[in-house]
Amino acid sequence: MFNGKNKALTFSYDDGVTQDKRLIEIFNKYGLKATFNLNSELLGLDGELIRNDVRITHIKNKPEDIKYIYDGHEVAVHTLTHPNLTNISDDNEVFRQVEQDRLNLSELVRYEVKGMAYPCGGVNCDDRVARIIKENTPIRYARTVDVTYSFSPYSDNYQYKGTLYHHEDWDKLFSMGQKFLELKADTPQIFYIWGHAYEFDIYPERWEKFEEFCAMMSGRDDIFYGTNFEVLG
């Protein structure tokens, strides 16, 4: 159970971009909690991306700002430099990418970081990588990019699959949200939503739509609102 409740809602966002600040304002407004997965050696870098023929900023938050930006939420590992760990044959380098990022982030936020999301899309983790992390670091969970469209907790915390990647299907997000609200849970159920904050900028109306979703999901006595670690750790 989650603080005496069988239902938990949690969010996860990757890359540590400046759009996280606007997203956190929405979460704070509605009493929701999220985890933000950062690459410590990329912090402070400027960049941009093209998504759906739209040019959007991809600017990383500065190291000195991390503690106050993410206060009240969770900071978690996303590796030092965002490589696909399955493509790294050297086990020591896999370990370094994860553990040094964890140590760097722990120093910035002044608490021990114990969560993680794997970087890159597609096949971004495997049994070897998961074993290295589980056996050699204090990491307690590591999320993949795969989703289940289910509220049942995934069985493997080191190759964890969330419920939904919300930027792909907004109708699905709202329909599953309503289903979760109506769910009478006798066993633990998790609505785990993940994405990237910069993707809201592709179409500005996404921000308003997401705030509508957050308002819909908030303030329920039967739902625990927690970070990934509070739910999975």
Tens-place pLDDT, residues 42-60: 999 999 989 889 899 999 9
How large a percentage of the chain has pLDDT more than 70?
Answer: 100
Tens-place pLDDT, residues 174-233: 999 999 999 999 999 999 999 999 999 999 899 999 999 999 999 999 999 999 999 998
How many other CB atoms are found less than 10 A from the CB of residue 111? Answer: 12
Write the CATH number of the domain with boundaries 7-232.
3.20.20.370
pLDDT at 95: 98
| 168 pLDDT higher than 80 | no
Name which of 145, 139, 141, 140 is nearest 125 in CA terms. 145
Q: What is the mean pLDDT of residues 10-32?
A: 98
How far apart are alpha carbons 192 and 222 in whole angstroms? 16
Domain assignments of the chain as residue spans, ordered by start: 7-232
DSSP-derived 3-state class of residue 214: helix
pLDDT at 90: 97
Residue carrying structure tokens 């760097």: 104
